[in-house]
Amino acid sequence: MAKPDKTGLKPATAQETAAARTAVRTSTQAAQAGALAARIEALFHTVRRPDREQYTNEEVARACREATGESFSTTYLWQLRTGRRDNPTKRHLEALARFFQVPPAYFFDEQQGTQIARELALLAALRDAGVRSLALRAIELSPEGLDTVNELMDVIARRDTARRRPSP
């Protein structure tokens, strides 16, 4: 069993790390595209249950039904997540926002929605134990030390990108 790190949290599993990276990509796509389906999907990938698992459509739909007193089926939620339906009621979006603990502006205001998506991506990245460890250590660095770390990370990122490119 993994031991907790300095924050008292257990290190993320490989599956959780992959999920966090997916959440970052999904949140970034949502911020860029502004599409309702992408924003809802980003919430599912980013906001997790206490056991770190994704919420199910059934859990979310049930909570939204209870919050609105209106029909809100798992099929309807799936349609919203996949873009097959893209015109929900304001009350439904407010219920989704309440469930995932984001401001309703996430859905209604492009600028605020983009900012919230970035913040969600950061939270998802911090679930990764390696990222969290780097962030915690960076807090103690001087501005010059942070600049050096950023430069090193840029070099490593370029190297990793070059390795992923197929050879000609």
Tens-digit pLDDT profile for residues 36-76: 999 999 999 888 887 878 999 999 999 999 999 999 999 99
| Beta carbons within 8 Å of 40's beta carbon, 6+ residues apart | 80, 81, 96
pLDDT at residue 165, rounded to an integer: 82
pLDDT at residue 117, rounded to an integer: 87
Q: Are 26 and 17 in contact (CB under 8 A)?
A: no
Q: Are 44 and 55 in contact (CB under 8 A)?
A: yes
Tens-digit pLDDT profile for residues 79-116: 999 988 988 999 999 999 999 999 999 998 889 888 99
pLDDT at residue 100, rounded to an integer: 95
pLDDT at residue 93, rounded to an integer: 95
Domain ranges for the chain: 14-127, 129-168
CATH fold of 14-127, please?
434 Repressor (Amino-terminal Domain) (1.10.260)
pLDDT at residue 33, rounded to an integer: 38
DSSP of 89-109: -HHHHHHHHHHHT--THHHH-
pTM here is 0.62
